[in-house]
A and B are shown apart, each in its own frame.
Chain A
Amino acid sequence: MPTVVQDDTKIWQRRDRKRQLTVWAGWFFGTFIFVYCFKLISDKTTWFFVTDAGRQAADLGSRMMPPEWGYMNDLWRPLWDTINIATLGTLIAIVIAVPVAFLAARNTTPSIAFVRPIALLIIVSSRSINSLIWALLLVAIVGPGVFAGIIAIGLRSIGFVAKLLYEAIEEIDEKQVEAITATGASGPQRLSFGIVPQILPAFAGITVFRWDINIRESTVLGLVGAGGIGLELNAKIMELGWSSVSVILLAILATVVVSEWVSAKVRHAII
């Protein structure tokens, strides 16, 4: 226990001298980085606009209230599209992510030296790039619309599903697989009776979790033209129809809350 002796009495200290210095240096360095970065950002900021923000917010608030409820009738179709983008995108992701996960898991990959790194690269690339960026790219390639959104959500979700799934595969109980092998089972049989039953609950949980996230993400894909309710949001912001914007935001909020509730229920039922 670190203590310091003062007037012949030992006083308890939380850290000894060396540790204290390390912690202090850490704080100093961290604060320096923060202040330096903040200065760089501050140089690029027009502070007049920032100090003016309160008035702007009040103005915006008064334009958004009251919401134009009648507009809700035009929103059912975009909402349906949004849900389809999330669901179909998740399905596409699953179809691709499952084989990738098996190729990436140490205990099922055919080759740790060659195949596994490729599978991991697929996972990292898909995870590092936000679905909105995928959507930007796909809108440029296949044109605006729901299709670009579905593919964007699919591409983004591959990494997420595959990563969590391959971690689940690596954590399985090998004894069960060994037992199946001992009965003389072939490779596919080992997979189907030894591994799949062990990861099925995790798989279902991951899928529903990702679906929930995808609902959230698909609400904004329209901002870059990839279909769904974001398209309406973008249009209304462009034409400054703020009372309609507040209806759209409430619709998005309701969808997100419901999807979160569904996903929590389903995951609860599985686990």
Chain B
Amino acid sequence: MTDASAPLGRRTWKRPPLIANPMLRWALVVGAAAYLAVALGTTEVNWGRVWEGLPRGKKFLLAFAPPDFASRWDAILDGILESLWMTAVSTVIGILLSVPIALGAARNIAPLPVYYFCRAIIAGSRSFQEVILAIFFVKLFGFGPFAGVVTLSVATIGFFAKLLAEDIEDMDPTQAEAVRATGGGWFQWLNYAIQPQVLPRFIGLSLYRLDINFRESAIVGIVGGGGIGATLNTAFDRYEFDSAAAILIIIIAIVMCVEYTSGYVRKWVQ
């Protein structure tokens, strides 16, 4: 950007700002500074306690070299396997529940009342964290992996149905019209016109959700929903950092595996 008022020959270039309006720009800067001052001022930090804890933090970092897989191996294996079962079951149930809701939440194929109803279900399932849902489901269904499965299935709806509905809304309507013109019924229309168009995205989303559900299955255990979370919580509570480090390493390794595999499968599908 050139400054036209400067005498010719001495014009200098200035970088254009991100926010063009200077009033808005300065208002944002001042507002951010004021917020930071107030926020930092009102945040109570017990520095003494933090200072006291630092050696413990060092102990945690040292626990990674080497992590202790052996002494709690039975509990860890049990928790990890339970997490994996929960992941598989809840992803399948969640997707089965999501598909009809996604069809209802796609504006181009659902009538308006159905659309609003399905969108309301999605919004409801999206607004609460898994952990909050888990607290209530543990209360209703008792401790154990079943409550965790219900939690993850419900949470899957909010994610999966929303993204699938958006993909259905983005589909090519001419293909759907063509199938309809051959005299296909509603289910044939779904199966031959819509399903092939959204299938690649469907598979991609399923794998992505599988990955998320595994990560989340590690935390529903903290409130009693089964899985590795309970083991991890106990390890932290007892300051058994070397066992905790082992669990974290296993979680990271599995997540990496799932991510790598799903990336490979997605490439293969498309």
Q: What residues of chain A lie closer than 8 Å to B218, measured between beta carbons?
A: 130, 133
What's the Cα separation between A136 and B234 when bound, in Å? 10
Q: Are B49 and A142 in contact (CB under 8 A)?
A: yes
What's the Cα separation between A138 and B236 when bound, in Å? 10
Q: What residues of chain B lie closer than 8 Å to A147, measured between beta carbons?
A: 43, 45-46, 50
What's the Cα separation between A160 and B136 when bound, in Å? 29
Give the Cβ gap from B73 to chain A, nearest Cβ, in Å: 19
Stretch at the interface among B1-9, B123-131, B159-167, B169-177: B123-131
For A223, give its contact among B127, B131, B136 (CB under 8 Å): B131
Q: Are B89 and A37 in contact (CB under 8 A)?
A: yes
**Could you mark each residue 238-271 of chain A with 1 if its beta carbon is under 8 Å from any beta carbon of chain B, else 0?**
0000000000010011001100000000000000
What's the Cα separation between A42 and B150 when bound, in Å? 12
Give the Cβ gap from A263 to chain B, nearest Cβ, in Å: 14
* Known contacts A37-B85, A44-B144, A142-B49: A124-B131 contact under CB 8 Å: no
For A34, give its contact among B88, B127, B136 (CB under 8 Å): B88
What's the Cα separation between A125 and B215 when bound, in Å? 12
Q: Are B256 and A128 in contact (CB under 8 A)?
A: yes
Interface residues of B in 239-266 (CB under 8 A from A): 239, 244, 248, 251-252, 255-256, 259
Interface size grouping (class) on chain A? 35 or more
Is the CB of B223 closer than 8 A to any CB of chain A? yes
For B56, give its contact among A87, A141, A217 (CB under 8 Å): A141
Give the Cβ gap from A152 to chain B, nearest Cβ, in Å: 12
Chain A residue nearest to B247 (CB atoms) is A133
Beyond the given pairs A137-B244, A150-B43, 18 more chain A to chain B contacts, judged by CB atoms under 8 angstroms and listed by A's residue number, are A37-B86, A41-B146, A44-B146, A53-B140, A60-B136, A125-B252, A128-B252, A129-B215, A130-B216, A132-B219, A141-B57, A142-B49, A143-B50, A145-B46, A147-B45, A220-B129, A233-B132, A237-B135
